[in-house]
Amino acid sequence: MTIEFAVIGGTGLTAIEGLEVIHREVVHTPYGEPSGPVTHGMIEGKRIAFLARHGYTHNIPPHKVNYRANLWALKSLGVEKVVAMAAVGGITPEMKPTRLVIPDQIIDYTYGRAHTFFEEGLTDVTHIDFSWPYCPEVRNALLAAAECAKLDVVPHGTYAATQGPRLETAAEIARLERDGCDLVGMTAMPEASLARELGLCYASCAVVANWAAGKDTDEITMAEIEQNLLLGMASARALLRALVC
């Protein structure tokens, strides 16, 4: 049976509620080991694959994720469409904690990550068009699923991909806002561009876990993030269930 799509789970999503697990598959890649075995399962009668980006025990920090191995593993299994879940900080007023956002743009502030498959044994230098980093087909499917499930989502936004694992300073967030960023997270890049290099149709659903630094008077705490993720990820799971209806 064809895999309808793969889900890459971020912080707060290491399993999908309602997924009937068929089996878990260890995939070895030319780029090292993925974050964990790929879970194959059925949900609402459709076959999907699931991979926890940070590991199933959430022990891999964002700058240590083997993005190339993760994407290559999914591609090798016949996956064509990928939904990437991510926990993010909100910068602009619309991006309130617990909201779901379907971003449409990225600005990359990461460094030192293995960010391309096009390095060795090339006959020509290879470039990809990355003007619009998220696949419109999957983005539109996510937006339609949100409408079907009556979920309050923001249908656009620019994701600032920072290095991590520390959170940003208030001055850094002010700079990101001046740059035009609405959200800040640590995993959109190079995941999105690697997916494009492999020809995967890739889009993201971001869950706002907290106001970014300097956007609220309170210090950012893990307790706050975890509480907001409980609410936000419940909506994200509802979105995924609607996506396969």
Query: 140 among the known binding-site residues?
Result: no
Torsion, CA 187, CA 193, CA 194, CA 198, rounded to 10: 140
Strands (E), the chain: 5-9, 20-25, 38-43, 46-52, 81-90, 100-101, 105-108, 153-154, 158-161, 183-185, 201-211
The first and second tokens of residue 163, run together, are 């290095």
Confirm whether residue 211 is marked as ligand binding. Answer: yes
For residue 160, the SS3 value is strand
Q: Is 70 known as a binding-site position?
A: no
Q: Is 228 annotated as a binding residue?
A: no
11 is in an annotated binding site: yes
Q: Which residues contact 138 (CB under 8 A, 6 or more apart)?
A: 5, 81, 82, 83, 201, 202, 203
Rg (CA), the chain: 17
Binding residues for substrate, as ranges, are 186, 210-212
Binding residues, as ranges, are 11, 53-54, 186-187, 210-212
Binding residues for phosphate, as ranges, are 11, 53-54, 187
